[in-house]
Chains A and B, each alone.
Chain A
Amino acid sequence: MTDVTLTINGEERSASVPPETSLLRLLRDEFFLTGSKLGCDVGDCGACTVIVDGLPVNACLMLAGQVDGRDVVTIEGLATLEDLHPIQKAFEEFASLQCGFCGPGVIISAKGLLDRNPDPTKEEIKDALSGNLCRCTGYTKMIEAVQDAARILRGEKEAA
């Protein structure tokens, strides 16, 4: 068994798991944080995207043991009891998602981008979302929502 202690959404959590356990399985099966989705389990779809030490990663490609002592943000860490995160709100406002399966991964990738680059171009947004496959939407409304959320986060626009 591998012992891991990590910070998830600002809270310290520990678990003892078989060494082959992925970060995704750790989140979903040990901590019941099922917002990160298991799409392909081999790094192709991006549905499992989480932020580790500030960078978006595919949680299915990382071992639980590798996140020991590190900081993980999942989709569950974005909204507060009172409010959705501005990116989530923009996705709602723009009807950016349809079935929603890709949503947590897309929103986390967008957050990863905006945390590093508060004023991205459309091309930079497309690039940041290119690891997140979406079967439903054609991505257009997601890109518009990320642009809008960026404006809100920069304080150039009131939140809806």
Chain B
Amino acid sequence: MKKRGKGMGCMWYPIGFTVMANPSAATVKVNEDGTATLITGTVETGQGSLTVLGQIAAEELGISTDDVHVVSADTDATPMDTGAIASRTTYVTGNAIQLAAEKAKNILFDVAAPMLGVRPDQLEAKDRRIQVKGFPQSCLPIGEVAAHAQNGAGTPALGSASYNPPTVAMDPETGQGKPFSTYVYATQIAEVEVDEETGEVEVLRIAAAHDCGTAINPMLVEGQIQGGISMGVGMAIQEEMLFDDEGRQINPNLTNYIMPTSLDMPDLEVDIVENFDPTGPFGAKGVGEPTAVATSAAICNAIYDAVGARIYNLPATAEKVLAAIKSKDHSDRQKYLPAG
């Protein structure tokens, strides 16, 4: 008989480690045609970070993301970055970029103020213009201000900045401290179908609610969550590296190291729970790694709900689930360990 069950997994995940130096740096340059160039050391691996970082620069400068030319990851020319790791890019590199763009913007404000007959602090950058707050008709195109900064005032509109989440040493006595700048939270709920006769698990549906601070690009956040869940599904029921006694991997191919295909993927429902983190760029935190954390817990809880079998050793392959179903005692205390 096939039995259905639902299970939930909840998690928190740290963003922006503080136990050691964790810096990113950036330069933002506003060009005479109103575009901007963003120079960053971080590398795009497909998650869309350069889009998000370009959006951050654009938002700060009041221009369109299309106006931002991103130069990234050129070891000859760009600043070193701690890395596209630890779900830190939007948060740490994003903060550096916002600060750099703000510096360039302040130069534009200083140059535009006398042109518009106001103080720099009365200005804002919006809709590709430098304009007087509350009097948007009193404005100058941002490119014109950048040209004047370069050719008239002699103060080119560029800013460089770095951001390093404040390093906090752990208390050597208690081991306590503040190892990360901020945290994200998520809950995933899985619905599974378990074949009691074979132990085979099919994941039917996963609903995932994730907090990532401000979702600067909701579509990309959704992509991260969907991709993370596919990794979580693999971790939960399929993927396992097997080694022989000499430590050689015995399943080094995609024929025997099984990862989810389109047919293994459940229907996904993604809910982005926005909130504003005052320490992040425009309130953003991060989303990458956290997406895969709750999935296997949710799936294993769903398996328990379906057939009363607890799996403590991933992946929950058909063999393990069947053995757990067959073992007399399904209680929470009894841990299933693989034979041998």
Q: Please state if A130 and B262 are interface contacts (CB–CB under 8 Å).
A: yes
What residues of B have a CB within 8 angstroms of the CB of A42 in the complex? 253, 255
In the assembled complex, the CB of A62 is this many whole angstroms from the nearest CB of chain B, namely: 18
> In chain A between 125 and 140, which residues have their CB closer than 8 angstroms to a CB of chain B?
125-127, 129-140
Question: Would you call B268 an interface residue if the criterion is a C-beta within 8 Å of the partner chain's C-beta atoms?
Answer: yes
Question: Would you call A2 an interface residue if the criterion is a C-beta within 8 Å of the partner chain's C-beta atoms?
Answer: no
Q: Please state if A129 and B262 are interface contacts (CB–CB under 8 Å).
A: yes
Q: Which secondary structure dominates where chain A touches chain B?
A: loop
Question: Would you call A45 an interface residue if the criterion is a C-beta within 8 Å of the partner chain's C-beta atoms?
Answer: yes
Knowing A97-B46, A130-B261 are in contact, say whether A141-B255 is a contact too (CB < 8 A). no
What residues of A have a CB within 8 angstroms of the CB of B152 in the complex? none
Question: Would you call A19 an interface residue if the criterion is a C-beta within 8 Å of the partner chain's C-beta atoms?
Answer: no
How far, in angstroms, from A93 to B288 measured CA to CA in the complex?
21
What residues of A have a CB within 8 angstroms of the CB of B253 in the complex? 40, 42, 44
Q: Which secondary structure dominates where chain B touches chain A?
A: loop
Interface segment, B6-14, B219-227, B300-308?
B219-227
Chain B, interface residues (CB within 8 Å), range: 20 to 34
Q: Please state if B262 and A126 are interface contacts (CB–CB under 8 Å).
A: yes
What residues of A have a CB within 8 angstroms of the CB of B219 in the complex? 95
Closest 3 pairs between A and B when the two form their complex, measured CB to CB: A98-B46, A99-B46, A138-B230
B-side residues, CB < 8 A to A, are 45-48, 219-220, 222-223, 226-231, 253-255, 259-263, 265, 268
Task: Show 28 A/B contacts (Cβ-Cβ < 8 Å), sorted by A.
Answer: A44-B255, A95-B220, A95-B223, A98-B46, A98-B223, A98-B227, A99-B45, A99-B46, A100-B46, A125-B262, A129-B261, A130-B261, A130-B263, A131-B261, A132-B261, A133-B261, A135-B231, A136-B227, A138-B226, A138-B228, A138-B229, A138-B230, A139-B261, A139-B262, A140-B226, A140-B268, A141-B223, A142-B262
